[in-house]
Structure 1
Amino acid sequence: MAVAQETAPPAWWRRPPAVVAVVVLILGTELVIGWPALAGALQQLRTPAWNWVAGAVIAEIASMGSYARMQQALLRGAGTSIPVRRHVALAYAAHSLSATLPGGPVFSTAFNFRTLRRYGASSAVASWSIALSGVLSAGALVLIGAVFGILTRSTGSWRTLLCYMAGALIVAFLVRLVARHPQWLMGPARRLLSGVNRARRRPAESGHTRLTTFVDQLRSVRVRPADLTLAVLLAVANWLLDALCLWMCCIAVGATGIHPAPLVIAYCAGMAAASVPIVPGGLGVVDAALVLGLVAGGLTSASALAAVVLYRLISFGFIIGTGWLVWLIMRARAGTPRGVPA
């Protein structure tokens, strides 16, 4: 008969009470050290300049509108016309799913795709539009960071900007080339699909017909240069208007000791931190990056903290809350799309 082996008790630092005590000790120490800055931030938040707060809200709404119009320009250039109000509603709802749910980008992409299909876009056009929207948005943020980094003399010379621009042009050229010749992807895509089928113990040819149909649809996608140019400009406007919201939040709490270029650099650092999906909405990660960037740009800790809290109340609280309300309305009108949690 087998004799059960006694397991050794876990080390003291692995026991739940010890972990809780260490966390409470760290948070308590941080609260004591940062209490003067926190008290100053709370004092500034009690009496903000409400006209600047209203301006920040308008800038954030305009930022969301720019993103929606960017996606509209891409779809219109591909031959699919959807009213802008539907794009705006979709932008709010998809953003809220992405920012608040665990694994939000997956749910957001599925919701975006199925909604565009319901609005009349083909599978290829919807997939292409969602993918290119992400590429343009990320490229615009990199370009903005490079330009303002040069303006603050923190990234060498104009040759740095030229390298970024050359990289962006190469990516745009490759995307356009692949869009014109999607059959180039057929071989690798078929091999990948066959490998997935083997892993799932399905026939090797399963799904190949649908893949061929999708590529045939993608081959018909042609975007007019004017619409693509407009989409690029709207992608840049989306980030700059969001940064304008942060700047107005600084003014609203009386934090006027920072120039636009360092502020945009701090903003780009915060948005880069948001791209790492550690926690929903980047809570804590984005805020810390923004505060550190604003302090490095010349603000006091109290002013930077107050400005970031106000900015996050608008860009996260107000926009996300509105997005969930829009999602509930869309769900009530059309039913919950598959792949999105009820």
Structure 2
Amino acid sequence: MPEAIPRPAEQPLDRPVGLTERRPLHRRLPLRQILCLLPLLVVAGWVVQHRSLIGSGARQMFTANPYWLLTAVATTGLGWVAVSFARQGTVLERLPARRLFATQFAAGAANHLLPSGIGAGAVNIRFMTGCGLPPARSSAALALYFLAEATARVGLLLALLVAFPEALRLGPLLPEPVSGTVVAGVVAAAGVLMAGVALIRPVRRLVVTFLRTALADARSLHMRPSRALALWGGSLAFPLLQATGLVAVALALELEVRPAHVMLAYLAATAVAAVVPAPGGIGSVDAALVIALVAAGAPVESATSTVLAYRFITVWLPLLPGALVLGGLVRWKIV
């Protein structure tokens, strides 16, 4: 007898015969699109929070000499070029020049997310890692940049202090002398804390490994003149261009302070403000600059106007374009 043809399985009553079951579609969360919009949202929050400060800086510019203001804008743009050279000088590999410059421009907006330059450091580490550098070498390059930039800034400050020892008159601005016992106690506490951290074995191993990588890279970089020139030339040019921008704004507003004294005031103020971990240096840099210009002989009102206009050009004016560039770099997976 012929074999019986197997009967098809019975279809459920709630589903028509011949139709396949459709799987539910799970849409993925557009995380990268959200990260692209994050810089813009942060910038909007900063603008709303500091709208009076931005307005004051903008109003000061209407009465200033436009040519000196354009000079300040030009020095700000050249500062990103100097930083790009310094960043290239921290690695042996050749980084793409256009993307490197765009990353430095966007890093200014990233600094408003995290304090003390952490935002810019994170953007640069992501960029160098995307260029093929291992994370350890990217971190070592970042540390070498900070070391070179701090060394150049402090060296310029000391040179100007030696050349113009009477430029900053801080006597009337300082409070009562702090007790030497308090200072000694703070220094001793910091030393004990650092020694305790150094005794922790995992931390000690991590620090030793990091220092070995950083020293090996620094030794290799200084054996190539082009990299050493880019590192130290960019590190010296960046604070000089920033100080020149403040001098240009002071000349635009006819501030009665010598340009060399304005440069000294800028370097001293930024060195002091670096101790305060404020995102973008908002508040700490502004106050330190005003105090330094007053110590250099400027009236309080003129010093405040100069600082507001300078910070408007260097911080607030490029903030929105920098956030847009940062969002584009995130979207294109460059950082």
> In 1, are the aligned partners of 2:60 and 2:309 still within 8 Å (CA)?
no
Q: Judging changes above 3 Å, is the alpha-carbon distance between structure 1 residues 125 and 57 closer, same or farther for their aligned structure 2 residues?
A: same
| Structure 1 position 212, deviation (Å) | 7.7
Given the alignment, which residue of 64, 72, 81 partners 1:56? 72
Q: When the two structures are superposed, what TM-score results if normalisation uses the length of structure 1?
A: 0.63
Q: Judging changes above 3 Å, is the alpha-carbon distance between structure 1 residues 278 and 143 closer, same or farther for their aligned structure 2 residues?
A: same
Q: Which residue of 2 aligns with 1:306?
A: 305
CA distance in 1, matches of 2:214, 2:262: 44
Q: Which residue of 2 aligns with 1:37?
A: none
> In 2, are the aligned partners of 1:53 and 1:252 still within 8 Å (CA)?
yes
Give 3-state SS (helix, strand or coil) of 2:90's partner: helix
CA distance in 2, matches of 1:189, 1:277: 27
| Structure 1 position 213, deviation (Å) | 11
Q: Which residue of 1 aligns with 2:316?
A: 317
Give 3-state SS (helix, strand or coil) of 2:298's partner: coil
Q: Which residue of 1 aligns with 2:248?
A: 248
Q: Which residue of 1 aligns with 2:228?
A: 228
Larger helix share, 1 or 2: 1
CA distance in 2, matches of 1:43, 1:330: 33
Task: Write the deviation string for residues 221-257 of structure 1: whole angstroms up to 9, x where unpaired.
Answer: 72134121331121111000000100000111122x2
Given the alignment, which residue of 77, 81, 90 partners 1:65? 81
Given the alignment, which residue of 90, 95, 98 partners 1:85? 98
1:243-322 matches, within 5 Å, as 243-255=243-255, 257-322=256-321
Point out which structure has higher relative CO (alpha carbons under 8 A, 6+ apart).
2
Q: Judging changes above 3 Å, is the alpha-carbon distance between structure 1 residues 110 and 212 closer, same or farther for their aligned structure 2 residues?
A: same
For 2:245, the aligned partner's letter is: C
Give 3-state SS (helix, strand or coil) of 1:81's partner: coil
CA distance in 1, matches of 2:105, 2:85: 12
Q: Which residue of 1 aligns with 2:160?
A: 148
| Structure 1 position 41, deviation (Å) | 9.1
CA distance in 2, matches of 1:131, 1:213: 10
1:136-215 matches, within 5 Å, as 136-154=148-166, 191-193=201-203
CA distance in 2, matches of 1:214, 1:273: 27
CA distance in 1, matches of 2:298, 2:259: 12
Given the alignment, which residue of 131, 142, 148 partners 2:143? 131
Q: Which residue of 1 aligns with 2:45?
A: none
Give 3-state SS (helix, strand or coil) of 2:165's partner: coil
CA distance in 1, matches of 2:283, 2:210: 44
Given the alignment, which residue of 118, 131, 137 partners 1:119? 131
Which has the higher Rg, Structure 1 or Structure 2? 2
> In 1, are the aligned partners of 2:58 and 2:312 still within 8 Å (CA)?
no
CA distance in 1, matches of 2:306, 2:214: 48
CA distance in 1, matches of 2:211, 2:306: 47
Mapped pair 1:239 → 2:239: yes
Q: Which residue of 2 aligns with 1:183?
A: none
> In 2, are the aligned partners of 1:123 and 1:214 still within 8 Å (CA)?
no
For 2:254, the aligned partner's letter is: G
For 1:148, the aligned partner's letter is: L
Give 3-state SS (helix, strand or coil) of 1:334's partner: coil
Task: Write the deviation string for residues 13-66 of structure 1: whole angstroms up to 9, x where unpaired.
Answer: xxxxxxxxxxxxxxxxxxxxxxxxxxx999854311111111100001101210
Point out where structure 1 has 5 or more consecutive residues left out of the alignment. Answer: 1-39, 156-187, 197-210, 338-342
Q: Which stretch shifts more, 235-244 or 65-74?
A: 65-74
| Structure 1 position 307, deviation (Å) | 1.1
Point out where structure 2 has 5 or more consecutive residues left out of the alignment. Answer: 1-55, 168-197
> In 2, are the aligned partners of 1:124 and 1:218 still within 8 Å (CA)?
no
For 2:138, the aligned partner's letter is: A
Given the alignment, which residue of 122, 125, 128 partners 1:110? 122
| Structure 1 position 215, deviation (Å) | 6.4
Task: Write the deviation string for residues 156-189 of structure 1: whole angstroms up to 9, x where unpaired.
Answer: xxxxxxxxxxxxxxxxxxxxxxxxxxxxxxxx89
Q: Which residue of 1 aligns with 2:6?
A: none
Q: When the two structures are superposed, what TM-score results if normalisation uses the length of structure 2?
A: 0.65
> In 2, are the aligned partners of 1:145 and 1:268 still within 8 Å (CA)?
yes
CA distance in 1, matches of 2:238, 2:65: 24
CA distance in 2, matches of 1:271, 1:213: 28
| Structure 1 position 143, deviation (Å) | 0.4
CA distance in 2, matches of 1:214, 1:143: 23
Q: Judging changes above 3 Å, is the alpha-carbon distance between structure 1 residues 297 and 234 closer, same or farther for their aligned structure 2 residues?
A: same
